[in-house]
Amino acid sequence: MSAKPAFSVSLSTILEKFRDKFPVPPEKWEGYTSRFKRIQVPAKTILLREGEISKKAYLIEKGCLRVWFDNKGDEVTFQFFFENSTVSSIESFKKGTPSLFSLETIEPCTLWWIDKTDVDSMLEEVSEIASMRNQIMNTLFERTLHYMKHFLSFVRDTPQERYENLLNQQPYIVQRIPQHYIASYLGISRVHLSRIKNKLARGK
């Protein structure tokens, strides 16, 4: 153990956190993890551009990303990702279609990436195992629910309520992410978000 080079220790330490998301059999683990490559990129790096075809999936060791798309000239931020998350443009990665979104770092990031071909072969193997299968299905199902609920909050809540929910449920987003990204994430203008904050500051 202590004989291993520092780099290898770091790799396995970080990737351990993703075992639930890449649920491979123990004896395969080493073979798969070796296919991940570590990179460091500055803030505002575009990892995938809207319209390109996604060939890589990322794990975030450090930093955060946003997923956004161009809407008639202005950027609409759609999702944020932080440490210990896996990120890709899922529809493009899975189906090989042009991505609907861009993937861009917000902070300087340390990332691990893996090629689609490796993910595919891995999935093919592990899906022979019922428990792994269920794990994968569950992950996908939860993502479905996530989109469903996120959508619901748009239909159900006012912008102010959405902001308050964000503050309560994911305060780290408000803390780490520049406000104009949050505004577009909430579906409102920067000015309006400013107004909402102001209103809340003066006791509702």
Q: Which residues bind DNA (CB under 7 A)?
A: 42-43, 158-160, 178-180, 187-195, 197-198
Q: Which does 178 bind (CB under 5 to 8 A by kind): DNA, a second copy, none?
A: DNA
Count Cβ atoms below 10 Å from residue 106 Cβ, excluding itself. Answer: 20
2 SS3 class: coil
Give 116 or 197: the residue with its C-beta nearer to DNA.
Answer: 197
- C-beta of 21: minimal distance to a second copy in Å? 16
Which residues are bridge partners to 69 per DSSP? 76
The first and second tokens of residue 4, run together, are: 């291993």
CA nearest to 47, candidates 31, 33, 59: 59
> Which residues are within 8 A (CB) of 107 and not within 5 positions of it... i.e. 6 or more apart?
43, 63, 64, 176
Give 45 or 127: the residue with its C-beta nearer to a second copy.
Answer: 127
Longest Cα separation, the chain: 59
- C-beta of 169: minimal distance to DNA in Å? 19
Count Cβ atoms below 10 Å from residue 185 Cβ, excluding itself. Answer: 23
Residues at the interface with a second copy (CB under 8 A): 69, 71, 76, 78, 90-91, 94, 100, 127-128, 130, 133, 136-137, 140-141, 143-145, 147-148, 150-152, 154-156, 187
**Per 3-state DSSP, what percentage of the chain is helix, strand, and coil (rounded to 5)?**
50, 20, 30
Q: Which does 192 bind (CB under 5 to 8 A by kind): a second copy, DNA, none?
A: DNA
Give 141 or 151: the residue with its C-beta nearer to DNA.
Answer: 151
Give 141 or 172: the residue with its C-beta nearer to a second copy.
Answer: 141
Backbone phi and psi for residue 74, each to the nearest 5 degrees, phi listed first: -115, 150
Q: Which does 159 bind (CB under 5 to 8 A by kind): a second copy, DNA, none?
A: DNA
Q: Which does 2 bind (CB under 5 to 8 A by kind): a second copy, DNA, none?
A: none
